[in-house]
Amino acid sequence: MTLRDIDLKYSGGQLKTSRALTTGGPLTVNVPSSSASLPLGRAGALSTGINIVSSFAGGEDNGSGTDTTGRLNLYSYQRAQNGSYGETIRHFLMRSDAKAMIAWYGPKAGYNETTEEPDESQGWSPWWWIGAHWEANDNASIHGHGSIEVPDLTGALQTRLEVPFIDQTNPPAPGQPIGVATTNIRTNLADFTVRASTGVLRIGAGNGYNKDILLSVSSDRDPAGERWKIRANTDTETGSGNTGTNFEIRRHADNGNVLGTALSIERSTGNVALGESAVSSPARLLVSPPTNKHGVSVIPLASQGNNSAFAAVTTAATDRVLDIRVFGDANARWVVYTDGKHEWGDGTASRDTTLYRSGSQTLATDSNFVVGQVFRAGTMQGSIASAGALTLRSTAHATKGTINIGASQWNDGTNVLLLGNTTAAPSSNPTGGVFLYVSNGRLKIRQPDGTDQFVALSAT
């Protein structure tokens, strides 16, 4: 049948036309034999569009059923670049706040557990949307994004994932090109989980690009919101030795500027640096404190009992537990070994001063020991060897002084013993005491009046 410029004919079991087909109501394809009505969406929705009907008449896809699923098959042979070739579905946004969405509906009351049929007693509601829009629902801002939306607990659809096609912080003026150099994909009211059993969260790029995870106080791409950045950096990979692409945690100021690297890890060695970007160091852990700050401070919240603020376990008693030096020293100035031995030096030559445990309840040094104030000991003795001696000297200087023994005094220069008075000089007359000294091989006593008497020694 031909009506003017419209042709409509039946051929090969199909009704065909070579012109556009317009219908004032819904166009239904695959009309089912049953008279059961199919849902069209929310109550009161107009019966418009193309209805491609399905039924369960064919059964399950189990090898014996037949396909009775209604579907829209679209075929494309052309690609699209600057034009619109290859587009099989087009959505036109006819108002600034219009949405063009693909919706998935389900029965509000759920499904019958026995028949698996929908319970339509409460109608149908959208469960999942995907589409795009330009202006916000309240007409107060430009969104300009594609989105995936699911309902919240009140049933209201909420955007959970959005992909902007404009710079949302600076939307283009009317007539300006639509597009963005880098799109800021965002979630909303959503967690993001990667199931580790089957996949990973990967940030991949060549060595010339930083691989960053950015923690910001802004969900936009505003640099001023940057606070922390986890980075695999662009340190050059040499192709051997596992060097390059090292790990960093960077900290940012309130304006987003980089304050410094808080932590870095060298990939080749595993060396860790705190407060320093360069981790090439002989130490497994390198701490670089700022001015007037401790490098490490341990402050327990309660008694540690048998534990300690610092614990070291080595493989030998002669292993070093502490090695302390001034920057640039060729040798350590202070070394503590696992067995408790201490060694000191000036940082240039080998250490020459020691303090260590030489035996049970015995602390020893191979060096000189100087006490600036009071040295107290219950018992003093010299060498522990046979016929050992105890030597007391007033000073290492050539000009000798005195050795005070309680209220008495030994003059190390004149070899005079003053008994009972430590205020008189050995060369003068004693006041309130006496001198005991040797003269011409004989022991004499000088009395306070200046007279000398010989000390007579008897066998008894």
> Model confidence over 324-338: pLDDT tens digits?
999 899 999 999 999
Range of the domain at 140: 74-195
Q: Which two tokens stand for residue 338?
A: 């696992």
The confidence score (pLDDT) of residue 412 equals 87
Distances (CA, A) of 67 to 54, 58, 61, 70, 409: 9, 6, 8, 9, 121
CA distance 142 to 193: 29
Q: CA 299: distance to chain centroid?
A: 21
93 forms bridges with which residues in the sheet?
A: none
Residue 231 within any structural domain of the chain: yes
Residue 342 within any structural domain of the chain: yes
Are 253 and 350 contained in the same domain?
no
Are 102 and 155 contained in the same domain?
yes
Distances (CA, A) of 289 to 27, 282, 294, 295: 76, 17, 6, 5
Contacts with 357 (C-beta within 8 Å, 6 or more apart), sequence order: 339, 340, 341, 363, 364
The confidence score (pLDDT) of residue 113 equals 94
CA distance 443 to 453: 9
Are 92 and 178 contained in the same domain?
yes
The confidence score (pLDDT) of residue 134 equals 96
Burial 271-296 (b: 16+ CB within 10 A, else e): bbbbbbbebeeeeeebeeeeeeeeee
Q: Which two tokens stand for residue 158?
A: 């909420």
Number of folded domains that form the chain: 4
Cβ atoms < 10 Å from Cβ of 235: 20
Are 112 and 158 contained in the same domain?
yes
From its phi and psi, is residue 314 left (phi > 0), alpha (psi between -120 and 50) or beta?
A: beta
Cβ atoms < 10 Å from Cβ of 250: 22
Are 105 and 179 contained in the same domain?
yes
CA distance 149 to 144: 15
Are 412 and 335 contained in the same domain?
no
Are 81 and 189 contained in the same domain?
yes
Residue 34 within any structural domain of the chain: no
Strands 353-359 and 362-364: antiparallel
Are 105 and 186 contained in the same domain?
yes
Sign of CA dihedral 256, 258, 262, 264: positive
Asked if residue 390 lies in contact with residue 382, where contact means CB atoms within 8 angstroms, the answer is: yes
Contacts with 330 (C-beta within 8 Å, 6 or more apart), sequence order: 347, 348
Residue 98 within any structural domain of the chain: yes
Are 245 and 144 contained in the same domain?
no
Asked if residue 231 lies in contact with residue 210, where contact means CB atoms within 8 angstroms, the answer is: yes
Are 191 and 215 contained in the same domain?
no
The confidence score (pLDDT) of residue 35 equals 47
Asked if residue 377 lies in contact with residue 371, where contact means CB atoms within 8 angstroms, the answer is: no
The confidence score (pLDDT) of residue 171 equals 92
The confidence score (pLDDT) of residue 432 equals 65
Burial 75-106 (b: 16+ CB within 10 A, else e): eeeeeeeeeeeeeeeeeeeeeeeebebeeebe
The confidence score (pLDDT) of residue 4 equals 60
Residue 259 within any structural domain of the chain: yes
Are 179 and 151 contained in the same domain?
yes
Are 190 and 78 contained in the same domain?
yes
- Tens of each residue's pLDDT in the chain, 460 residues: 445 666 778 788 777 887 777 777 777 787 766 545 777 666 556 667 888 888 888 899 988 899 989 899 999 999 888 788 999 999 999 999 999 999 999 999 999 999 999 999 998 999 999 999 999 989 999 999 999 999 999 999 999 999 999 999 899 998 999 999 999 999 999 999 999 998 899 999 999 999 999 999 999 889 999 999 999 999 999 888 899 999 999 999 999 999 999 999 999 989 999 886 566 667 888 888 888 989 899 999 999 999 999 999 999 999 999 999 998 999 999 999 999 999 999 999 999 999 999 999 889 999 988 889 998 988 888 888 898 898 888 988 999 999 888 777 888 888 877 776 545 555 666 666 677 766 666 677 777 777 777 766 665 5
Looking at 342, 364, 386, which one is the last position of a domain? Answer: 364
Residue 143 within any structural domain of the chain: yes
